[in-house]
Structure 1
Amino acid sequence: MMLNVSDQTELDALLASHSAVLVLYGGQACGVCQALKPQLQRLLSEQFPRMQACYVDCQTTGGALCAQQRIMALPVVQIWFEGSRFTEFFQVFSLADISAALTRPYQLLFEG
């Protein structure tokens, strides 16, 4: 399940309460973002079930958070482990790129 996050306080709370978090920054008018969202949810549920996912709509309620995070173009995916940003993907990337980036640290955190 992908939670909706709209401000820095909510994001901070999520990062503090979960060891692994994926953040998708998108927008309602971003077709790629809307297509990517269910694909990411499926990837996480099938391969990385202990990772928490959240969505920030930069074109509506999450505009200030997107500015704080310096999100300049959509979509952006950030991956966080233990409260620290591990990596970030922006504009041109694939689900395979995200899966490859997640596999090793996820295994170390949850299966090691």
Structure 2
Amino acid sequence: MSKTTHINNIEKLEELLKTEEAILLYFSTTSCNVGEAFEPKVKSLLATNFPKINFYHIDLNFSPEIAANYSVFVEPTILVFFEGKETIRKSRAIGIFELEEALKKPYQLIFE
């Protein structure tokens, strides 16, 4: 499983969105048990089924500007961008199979 890359700078995030084809942003805090338990499942799903999507973690406590800019107010929240455009948004009660199904079609369109 890949290491977690943290983003806490909006300029860095915007640069990544311009240069990377597929990004999953995982918004949570260290005080969110659900978010901490779900994060390894998301990383495993990406590593196994969607290896070209890059995973980035954003801690809401340290990145309020990013959270506000992307209208993220609950944790965990997942935003997936393909070619710089927000394609998927999931919040709170997220199922791993639901996420997998949501990722399949856009991933296939871009990478297969």
Q: What is the DSSP-based 3-state SS (H/G/I as helix, E as strand, rest coil) of the residue aligned with 1:92?
A: coil
Alignment deviations for residues 3-29 of structure 1 (CA, whole Å, 9 cap, x no partner):
111121111111112111110000010
- How many residues align? The count is 110
For the aligned residues, what is the CA RMSD? Answer: 1.0
What percent of counterpart residues are identical? 25
Unpaired runs of 5+ in structure 2? none
2:57 alignment partner AA: Y
Q: What is the DSSP-based 3-state SS (H/G/I as helix, E as strand, rest coil) of the residue aligned with 2:56?
A: strand
Please report the TM-score for the alignment, with normalisation by the length of structure 1.
0.93
TM-superposed deviation, 1:57: 0.3
1:66 alignment partner AA: A
Counterpart for residue 86 of structure 2:
85
Counterpart CA distance in 2 for 1:10 and 1:55 is 13
2:69 alignment partner AA: Q
2:44 paired residue among 17, 42, 45: 42
1:95 alignment partner AA: I
Unpaired runs of 5+ in structure 1? none
Moved runs in structure 1, 4+ residues, more than 3 A?
A: none
Please report the TM-score for the alignment, with normalisation by the length of structure 2.
0.93
Counterpart for residue 65 of structure 2:
64
Counterpart for residue 16 of structure 2:
14
Counterpart CA distance in 2 for 1:87 and 1:47 is 16
TM-superposed deviation, 1:64: 2.0
